Chain A
Amino acid sequence: MLYLVRVNKRAEIASISQHETGADKQPDDRELVTRAQDGDSAAFRALFERYHRRAFGLALGMVKNPDDALDIVQDAFIKAHRHLSKFAGSSSFYTWFYRIVMNLSIDHIRKARRKSRMDFDDALARAEADAPASHGGLLPRILGQNPKKALVRKEIREHIGAALASLSDNHRAVLVMREVEGLSYEEMAVVMECSKGTIMSRLFHARKNMQKQLLAYMEGQRDFEA
């Protein structure tokens, strides 16, 4: 029998964090934002402490390079600080902040691409247009029965990184937000400022594309071992 045990990682982290630190007395994001808007620098720092690591994880999933990811996180907090007064609170702070992180990450990638005169988006669009749907369109089990054991191999990890890098910016963004931060479709739609249907479509194609990349790698490995 299949038991679906996927959890919202963000909620899990928040829960663990509160449990470990007795943080149930800590102010929520909305209160911190209000205080920061009123000029409380400690409140802004509290928001920083709450989100900088996770922002780094998102940025790293997008740009691969830790130094670049750190720069993006820095820029994101500076931008958030600058525009905090305009944050109306219609969405949660983290979706608003993640949007900043994602936009900066995508900007960074585009600048890097312009610099190196490479256009991965076009290549990806062509590949996606040519790609046949495989077995109903989703993933076969590509990582074996024990993915954690398999993933300790640096080579596989690197290949996952390469596969992620080959995705279009939007596809990578939704995949990272979903898998690293556990954002819901609705939350991702807010972050990416698009419809929930668009998010579903992007996520679907992102996963399919990752599947193709990793399948090619696994087949290459099998051929090599044979």
Chain B
Amino acid sequence: MADHDTKDHDDLSALALMQYADGELDEPEGAATEAGREQVLAIAELGDGVRHYVDAAIAEGAPDFSALWATVSRRIAANGVAHHEPVAKEVAREAPASSRGGFFAELGAWLDRYRGHFVTGAIAAGAAAALMVAIGGPPTPSGQDTAVATGPALPDLGSLTDPGTSPMALASTPPEVEQLEVYGGSGMVLTLPDEDGGGTAVIWLSGDDDATESPI
């Protein structure tokens, strides 16, 4: 029992001396004794040893700190551009123009990020409405790479058309329909002739996983 008490007391003293050596405690009882001084100095010496070991290891290892930021910023850009804007912006500024894709690649990437059933459905519905308003019926495809797309029967939209225009007049020249394969899905470009001889292109895109049907 007495031994146990003595050990506890010694441990408490040692802890207090350690706190004192670390600057965490004012001078405790026993710090002025020979044994106390020895212990405090021993802690300081061990600390010196550890610091010298680390300093020497740094000197010997001689890491190339100058390249470290370049590596870190590159990895940040590669790993998490969405998480933090600035580095992504830097990289975007530095990206050569040649590394960027064409219009459809960018459009496909954009759709890949944002398309959902709602968006795609809205696009499809809009395209279908515009098409039906414009031509009043299924288009006749033309051109070497074109194909006729079939779809479900569409509701009569005649009541929605402007009575001042005649869609059927425009439909006298059938629109060109081009099937396209784009990133992550397929698409269609419908070129509708204008009255002045020009044309209006309607682009309809759908993803591979989209259940939305073609508007035509």
Pick from A81, A137, A148, A211: contact of B48, CB below 8 A. Answer: A148
Question: CB distance A39 to B52 under 8 Å?
Answer: no
Q: How far is the CB of A214 from chain B (nearest CB, A)?
A: 8
Interface size on A, residues (CB 8 A): 64
Q: Which residues of A contact B43 (CB under 8 A)?
A: 138-139, 207
Contact indicator A136/B13 (Cβ below 8 Å): yes
B126 within 8 A of A: no
Stretch of A100-108, A112-120, A173-181 at the chain-chain interface: A173-181
Contact B63 A81 (CB under 8 A): no
**A183 to B17 alpha-carbon distance, docked (Å):** 18
Check if B63 sits within 8 Å of A138, measured CB to CB: no
Residue A203 at the chain B interface, CB threshold 8 Å: yes
Proximity string of chain A (57-89) to chain B, C-beta cutoff 8 Å, 1 when within and 0 when not: 100110010110110011001100110110000
Contacts of A82 in B (CB 8 A): 76, 79-80, 83-84
* Number of inter-chain CB pairs below 8 Å: 185
Closest to A184 in B: B24
The reply on A8 being an interface residue by CB < 8 A is: yes
Measured in the bound complex, the distance between the Cα atoms of B54 and A57 in whole Å is 6
Which residues of B are interface residues toward A (Cβ below 8 A)?
7, 10-11, 13-15, 17-24, 31-32, 35, 37-58, 60-63, 65, 68-69, 71-73, 75-76, 79-80, 83-87, 89-90
15 contacts between A and B (CB under 8 A): A49-B69, A52-B69, A64-B57, A133-B10, A136-B14, A141-B42, A147-B48, A148-B48, A156-B49, A160-B49, A178-B22, A184-B24, A200-B19, A210-B50, A211-B42
Q: Which residues of A contact B (CB under 8 A)?
A: 2, 4, 6, 8-9, 36, 39-41, 44-45, 48-49, 52-53, 56-57, 60-61, 64, 66-67, 69-70, 73-74, 77-78, 81-82, 84-85, 133, 135-143, 147-148, 151, 156-157, 160-161, 164, 175-176, 178-180, 184-185, 200, 203-204, 207, 210-211, 214
